Amino acid sequence: MRHTEILYNGRCPICAAEIAQYRKQAEAAGASLRFTDLHAADLQDWQLSADQATRRLHARCDGQIISGFPAFLILWRELPRMRWLARLMSLPLLRQFAELGYNRIAAPALYALHKRRQTKSA
């Protein structure tokens, strides 16, 4: 049986809300997904620094660690209601645009918000 673990930033309100929706879908579908907040994880086990972990979504599937947009594809493939999106976004041109948008816009913006929250709480 395939086991997939998702590592996410639980202190990011946007990330936490999105993961909460995925978790609900996974529980309803009986999907073999585990969601781990990076702040409660052994990041050495993930071979990531705290900074690396906060910059992207990460998935561990069958022992392999996948980061960034490909981690979303792995997550979506495990959720019956999201499989169509995984198939669609796996198409070559769409995947390239999605990866570009995630790498250049979404992930850096969420990371900047994370750093700003850290500065305010320090």
Tell me the average pLDDT across 73-95.
Answer: 97
Q: What share of the chain in percent tops pLDDT 90?
A: 89
| Mean pLDDT, residues 90-107 taken together | 96
Q: Is 112 exposed, middle or buried (0-12, 13-18, 19+ CB in 10 A)?
A: exposed
Q: What mean pLDDT is predicted for residues 54-75?
A: 96
pLDDT tens digits for range 6-32 = 999 999 999 999 999 999 999 999 998
Count of structural domains, the chain = 1
The pLDDT value given to residue 1: 58
Task: Give residue 75's domain range.
Answer: 4-121
Mean pLDDT, to the nearest integer, of 48-54? 95
